[in-house]
Amino acid sequence: MAVSIKRFGALSTLSLSVAWAENASAEMALNFPKPAAGVAQEIYDIHMLTSTIATVLLVIIFSIVGYSLVHHRKSRGYEADQHFHETWFGKWAWVIVPVLVLGIDLTIASSAEKTLEKVWDVPKGEDLVDVKVTGHQWWWEFDYLDHTVDIDGTGTPKTVKVESRYVPKDKAGDLYLRDVDNHLVLPVGKKVRFLHTSADVNHAFWVPALAVKKDAIPGYVTETWVDLNREGTFRGQCAELCGTWHSRMPIVVDVVSQDKFASWMDEQKKVMLAAAAESSMDKDWTMEELMEKGQANYNTKCASCHQITGKGLPPAFPPLAGSKITTGPIQDHLNVVLNGRPGTAMVSWAMLSDLEIASIVTYERNAWGNDTGDVVQPRDIKAARSLAVK
């Protein structure tokens, strides 16, 4: 008996020291990720305060329990004290212990309350970076609301936009379901306000290192904010079950220096201008040019559902190879792409440029053995838009 008690003691000491060592090394990824923003740091500190208090209490209580088990055991002939409750301590322990516990609770609650107020108090002002975050089935759209380009000279500027889509397994390797093609780039040392919404069903934007998790609800705009204080790449994901490919909406945030951010932003604007100029070029595109562009556009925007092979994933996502729509009248094909099929995952793609749609439609009508020989030009899309009935 004495031996097994000693063993029990050794075992519990061992497991306690293991727990302690694990706590001490965040590198082992047992703790929360290292925060990258001021609010996130405060939340992290509350977590550490709570864990420390809990660990100290655990040690004290288990020491008392262990001591009692060993010293007051029956085999030693220990007899319970029948008059403990009549002593001063026996009476007042019922008051002292709850007061102590309440004191600890209030210590945690008051620091949590201060932090919560800060989380909710979204800053307003000029030095903010405003990012509209829109959840889609199944990708993220980020609009930098205060960075715009007047691409067609009409005075209605377009916001700089990042479209983030997951990277397929063969290309992503170890980062499968953790990586996206285009990262959300943000400047360090700035306050960023996120405006959350959704284009279809509920999603949730969640990046643990920024401590932001917020539902994206269609028809509503909600806000969160962070004060970025460290450069780095931080990963998160959609945290609201949003359909078949909920797992395919990772989020990757690159926090970079302000200089880098400025030059990245310039680059984005140049790309937008170049794309707009190309799209408005008054020329007939050849089949080869359209097929090449169409394949690239199809693979990023449509293949997540209809698949690179065009075979789809029936019954959820219909094949486009040999479909009546992609081999039938062009107008029907354009109708589906421009208007979508209401009530299904096939949304309207009217936000794409004429050239993008022309290239995708040409590609769909000639790839995978569809071989219709049809070439659809940007001007056909322009005409279809003015015809399109909602």
- Which residues bind to Cu ion, rule: CB under 5 A? 203, 238, 242, 249
Contact residue for ligand HEC among 210, 291, 302, 375 (CB under 6 A): 302
Nearer Cβ to ligand HEC (162/346): 346
Neighbouring residues of 191: CB distance < 8 A, sequence distance ≥ 6: 123, 127, 128, 129, 225, 226, 227, 228
Long-range contacts of 323-328 (CB under 8 A, 24+ apart): 326/364, 326/365, 326/370, 326/372, 327/365, 327/370, 327/372
As measured in angstroms, the least distance from the Cβ of 135 to Cu ion is 5
Segment interacting with ligand HEC (CB under 6 A) among 78-86, 89-97, 159-167, 335-343: 335-343
Residue 310 interface partner, choices Cu ion, ligand HEC, none, CB cut-off 5-8 Å depending on type: none
Binding to ligand HEC, residues 136-165 (CB under 6 A): 137
As measured in angstroms, the least distance from the Cβ of 361 to ligand HEC is 7
How far apart, in whole angstroms, are the C-alpha atoms of residue 241 and residue 202?
A: 8
Sign of CA dihedral 295, 300, 302, 305: positive
Report helix, strand or coil for 206.
strand
Contact residue for ligand HEC among 164, 237, 295, 304 (CB under 6 A): 304
How far apart, in whole angstroms, are the C-alpha atoms of residue 37 and residue 226?
A: 6
Q: Residue 308 interacts with ligand HEC (CB under 6 A)?
A: no
Q: In 10 A of CB 377, how many CB atoms?
A: 17
CB 197 within 8 A of CB 133: yes
As measured in angstroms, the least distance from the Cβ of 316 to Cu ion is 16
- DSSP secondary structure code for residue 239 in this structure: -
- DSSP secondary structure code for residue 176 in this structure: T
Contact residue for ligand HEC among 255, 360, 375, 384 (CB under 6 A): 360
Nearer Cβ to ligand HEC (145/296): 296
As measured in angstroms, the least distance from the Cβ of 353 to ligand HEC is 12
As measured in angstroms, the least distance from the Cβ of 339 to ligand HEC is 11
Tokens of 251: 């989020």
Contact residue for ligand HEC among 344, 371, 382, 387 (CB under 6 A): 344
223's enclosing H/E stretch is strand 222-227
Contact residue for ligand HEC among 306, 367, 375, 384 (CB under 6 A): 306
Residue 360 interface partner, choices ligand HEC, Cu ion, none, CB cut-off 5-8 Å depending on type: ligand HEC
As measured in angstroms, the least distance from the Cβ of 319 to ligand HEC is 7
Residue 301 interface partner, choices ligand HEC, Cu ion, none, CB cut-off 5-8 Å depending on type: ligand HEC
DSSP 31-57: SPPPP-BHHHHHHHHHHHHHHHHHHHH
β partners of residue 195: 132, 223
Tokens of 201: 């069903």
As measured in angstroms, the least distance from the Cβ of 234 to Cu ion is 18
Q: In 10 A of CB 111, how many CB atoms?
A: 15
Tokens of 141: 């759209």
Contact residue for ligand HEC among 205, 225, 317, 368 (CB under 6 A): 317
Interface residues with ligand HEC (CB under 6 A) are 137, 301-302, 304-306, 317-318, 320, 323-326, 333, 336-337, 341, 344-346, 349, 360, 364
